[in-house]
Structure 1
């Protein structure tokens, strides 16, 4: 039997980040996942925004991990075929498998990685027992369940998932290629839907290494014929849905595979147990449209590894009362509530046809337009001031030479 303080089940974003943090903190940990090298998975493909990056920085590994990502530097905002603003951007494009690999590279002893599948789990208020597919047994003080949407182990422990919103949204991923030009004119772009009837909140374009990656989001059912059309004739279908997009992008083609991923919103029930704590999607799923999934992961893991696990290990036992302090953590609860509210708000502002939501859409359009106008005016004033200063400097130099 192998002994450790923390056994982490699931080596995706949440589990690998937890292992990297615990290793750096000197806490003996085992990260257990059946994939030695994480396979392709159509999930998080971009990290960005000040709030999200601040949450990532609290893990202590953000700076080194983001060296493997592609920074765009500037994001264009557009709607109705019109460029509204060019905003400074802290977006970093990286495919999910590459992101997980970069995080796993930060795992140091006493944290270790075990390539295996957990087949059985038994929990108690003292120590937890895990049986691995290779035949080994692991004894840990705490289990961190970070295995995403997998339900087998949860059901073994009496933890179920409650459906909140079936097929809340669908994400579509592909590579966009310019036709007749070497590159697109923008470093990155967010293009908002032109009409609610298209059931598309926005298309986001961002660089990943040398290619332009596209994430298109839609609010449809998984069997909607539109999705089949998107697979068969992606360029034609996208142009029909966003008919003025080409004014900004120019002619384009779609290269490679088209990935389609429906997202259900779930919350876990029966999770307040001794010896085990759930993080990330294992606790509650998020809507990819809102872009808050990574926020929830980083908030969960940072609070768990920076605050709660060190406190729990300082005293004997691992009872349910200890574990409850994590679920009651005000930082975690605030992030969960914000993420859930944003999922439903984004859906309503994108497709609802009531006067309130129509006003919200126009308010956002005008806000982006006004922000872009102010930015252009400031830039013009700054350029004019530099020209005047240079002219004044040149005149003074000429007078000195004449004298």
Structure 2
């Protein structure tokens, strides 16, 4: 006898687990299918910025995620070995596996978890049939595909893939430790590439637990010898493209495994089908360097679970026209477009060479210096004003007594 549910979620990563939490708070029967329990390690998003934290709060996930993450309260911005600005920030660092584990802990107990792999899905306007590799069958009104980069299952449904930019970027992840001091002098640092020919967007360093985590955003082919060098001799390879970095942060070493992750930009096609909806990377990817991937995933899940699924399940049927309303959602479309534009714009700026490219780079650096100088000046004036106010208050009662 087949299992049944109102909603089957295929994939228990960030997108699928978040959807399970939100849909599990409703009266609908929800079943989550994933082959990995606990979730396996992966090199994905490792930091939340304020816009993503706002989305977590909007979805009611902040109480699950933020206690498991490391808060960073100050950001240094630098280039060419010089500090341009210091900002007060609200950022959190967390590796992907602990992130997914934290979200999964918040899945309500009424959501059933099936540890398995989906082999096939059969679709119709009314009922969907999900078949696992062990032969088990699950029926549902709606299937949420949140299985990330796995294209095989989507391909079996006739869903295609349009590649927008092959190997658009390559992200390198590693841990950094100081060798001449107990700790580095900042919570987080964004250090921009020094020369366009190095094909580096920026290096971001941020505290994550007891270590300083590094994500280096590059635009290189997978056959680039430098990527081989960063795995084998990481300190020398990093110094070759950022020779002034040590002058700013002090001597350092790279510890542990160096992870390299290429990112293609693609979007799924032929997606308006009955009974199945795609979220997160299953729908389309983003560039990690642009820092918008988590926004896309969380926006997809929030719009689907808060707006569209309640409407769909309120009436009979699950025809393609219902599913199309999710892909046409204005907030989703705006987030997708913004993410794509950010990916191309950052790459163009980072690789801009020649006189105009160099001039634009220095102009941005000088602009950041000016903002930092103005911000520090205002902070100094505010501090002096507060000191003067306190001094005036102290003098007032004493003079009144005389």
TM range (shorter): over 0.9
- Compute the RMSD of aligned alpha carbons: 1.5
Report what 2:246 is aligned to.
Answer: 246
* Comparing 370-379 and 87-96, the one that deviates more: 370-379
Question: Contact between 1:349 and 1:358, CA under 8 Å: does it hold in 2?
Answer: no
TM-score (norm 2): 0.96
Distance in 1, matches of 2:37 and 2:150, equals 18
Report what 1:10 is aligned to.
Answer: 11
Q: CA deviation at 1:398?
A: 5.6
Distance in 1, matches of 2:40 and 2:389, equals 57
**Residue 21, structure 1, aligned to residue 22, structure 2:** yes
Distance in 2, matches of 1:362 and 1:19, equals 47
Spell out, residue by residue over 1:289-327, the C-alpha distance to the aligned partner (whole angstroms, 9 max, x if none): 001110000111100000000000011110001000001
Question: Contact between 1:26 and 1:110, CA under 8 Å: does it hold in 2?
Answer: no
Report what 2:76 is aligned to.
Answer: 76
Distance in 1, matches of 2:81 and 2:67, equals 34
Spell out, residue by residue over 1:57-108, the C-alpha distance to the aligned partner (whole angstroms, 9 max, x if none): 2222123321111110111111111111111111110000000001001100
Residue 56 of structure 1 aligns to a residue in which SS? helix
Residue 44 of structure 2 aligns to a residue in which SS? coil
Q: CA deviation at 1:394?
A: 4.5
Report what 1:338 is aligned to.
Answer: 338
Question: Contact between 2:83 and 2:248, CA under 8 Å: does it hold in 1?
Answer: yes
**Residue 130, structure 1, aligned to residue 120, structure 2:** no
Distance in 1, matches of 2:291 and 2:343, equals 9
Q: Give matches, 1:136-215, under 5 Å.
A: 136-215=136-215
Distance in 1, matches of 2:310 and 2:398, equals 70
Distance in 1, matches of 2:365 and 2:309, equals 45
Q: CA deviation at 1:203?
A: 0.3
Distance in 2, matches of 1:331 and 1:146, equals 19
Question: Contact between 1:11 and 1:33, CA under 8 Å: does it hold in 2?
Answer: yes
Hey, which bits of structure 1, 4+ residues long, moved more than 6 A?
none
Residue 147 of structure 1 aligns to a residue in which SS? coil
Question: Contact between 1:27 and 1:110, CA under 8 Å: does it hold in 2?
Answer: no
Spell out, residue by residue over 1:91-148, the C-alpha distance to the aligned partner (whole angstroms, 9 max, x if none): 1100000000010011004322211111121111111001123432100101101101
* Comparing 23-32 and 206-215, the one that deviates more: 23-32
Q: CA deviation at 1:386?
A: 2.9
Question: Contact between 2:273 and 2:319, CA under 8 Å: does it hold in 1?
Answer: yes
Spell out, residue by residue over 1:161-189, the C-alpha distance to the aligned partner (whole angstroms, 9 max, x if none): 12111110000000000112110001111
Residue 215 of structure 1 aligns to a residue in which SS? strand
Distance in 2, matches of 1:217 and 1:95, equals 17
Residue 317 of structure 1 aligns to a residue in which SS? coil
Report what 1:217 is aligned to.
Answer: 217
Distance in 1, matches of 2:367 and 2:322, equals 46
Question: Contact between 1:38 and 1:100, CA under 8 Å: does it hold in 2?
Answer: yes
Report what 2:42 is aligned to.
Answer: 41
Q: CA deviation at 1:205?
A: 0.5
Question: Contact between 2:180 and 2:250, CA under 8 Å: does it hold in 1?
Answer: no
Q: Give matches, 1:29-108, under 5 Å.
A: 29-49=30-50, 51-108=51-108
Question: Contact between 1:14 and 1:297, CA under 8 Å: does it hold in 2?
Answer: yes
- Aligned CA distance change for structure 1 residues 355 and 144 (closer, same or farther; 3 Å): farther
Q: Give matches, 1:253-402, under 5 Å.
A: 253-353=253-353, 357-396=357-396, 399=399
| Gaps in structure 2 of 5+ consecutive residues | none
TM-score (norm 1): 0.96
Q: CA deviation at 1:266?
A: 1.0
Residue 59 of structure 2 aligns to a residue in which SS? coil
Question: Contact between 1:74 and 1:89, CA under 8 Å: does it hold in 2?
Answer: yes
Question: Contact between 1:26 and 1:109, CA under 8 Å: does it hold in 2?
Answer: no
